[in-house]
């Protein structure tokens, strides 16, 4: 889930940014400081949304940097159990697939990629035995978060695509078209039954 978080903190602006206007220097420092920043409570920082105020700077002896008390907003993503996530397959392995979720990466075990017996091929694809559906690098998918781990301060996300309405986007479209055809067929069959009476 995405959140907009208000933060008030002292920002340490490095000397290399002293030539810039104060607001620009603070914004640049915030972007550098929070690039790929992760905290279990806060989440993953996606972007610095805006800087709303910057107070007078102070210099601490023997540091060389300037400190500015600032108020700013961060866009963060905090994964939640059962959340639906969209991503692109980044890597296929013999045990599953890694999906780029934008802010981080998630992993789908081979048994959770589709409702079928799945095998790994030499061409780095996962293929369903009965359905003949295949999953490869670059495929866009919709998955559900089923596991979140914070071991050793590192975020790990487990995903599944074995539920209705999940999987490779082409599979979802195919399933919708099949459902529409089945519904139309059932309605026609019902109409014929009513006419006979």
- How many Cα neighbours within 13 Å face the side chain of 139? 22
Whole-number pLDDT of residue 195: 63
The pLDDT value recorded for residue 191 is: 77
Q: What is the pLDDT of residue 89?
A: 96
* Residues lower than pLDDT 70 in the chain: 193-197
Given a contact cutoff of 8 angstroms between Cβ atoms, the answer to whether 51 and 23 are in contact is: yes
- Claim: this prediction has a pTM higher than 0.85: no
Secondary structure (3-state) at 191: helix
pLDDT at 161: 95
Residue 29: the pLDDT is: 95
Per-residue pLDDT reduced to its tens digit, 131-182: 899 999 999 999 999 999 988 878 999 999 998 899 999 999 998 998 889 8
Domains, the chain, in order of start with CATH, read 2-77 (3.30.1490.120), 84-177 (2.40.50.140)
């Amino acid at each position: 889930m995405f959140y907009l978080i208000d933060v008030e903190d002292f920002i340490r602006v490095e000397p290399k940014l002293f030539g810039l206007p104060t607001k620009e220097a603070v914004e640049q420092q915030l972007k550098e400081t929070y690039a790929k920043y992760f905290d279990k409570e806060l989440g993953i920082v996606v972007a610095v949304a805006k800087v709303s105020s910057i107070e007078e700077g102070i210099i601490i002896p023997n540091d060389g940097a300037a400190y500015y008390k600032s108020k700013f907003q961060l866009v963060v993503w905090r994964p939640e159990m059962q959340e639906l996530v969209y991503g692109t397959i980044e890597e296929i392995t013999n045990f599953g697939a890694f999906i780029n979720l934008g802010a981080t990466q998630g992993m789908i075990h081979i048994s959770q990629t589709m409702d079928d017996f799945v095998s790994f091929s030499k061409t780095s694809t996962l293929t369903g035995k009965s359905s003949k559906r295949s999953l490869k690098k670059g495929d866009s998918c919709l998955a559900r978060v089923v596991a979140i781990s914070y071991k050793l301060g590192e975020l790990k996300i487990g995903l599944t695509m074995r539920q209705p309405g999940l999987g490779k986007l082409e599979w979802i479209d195919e399933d919708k078209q099949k459902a529409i055809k089945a519904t139309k067929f059932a309605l026609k069959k019902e109409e014929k039954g009513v006419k006979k009476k």
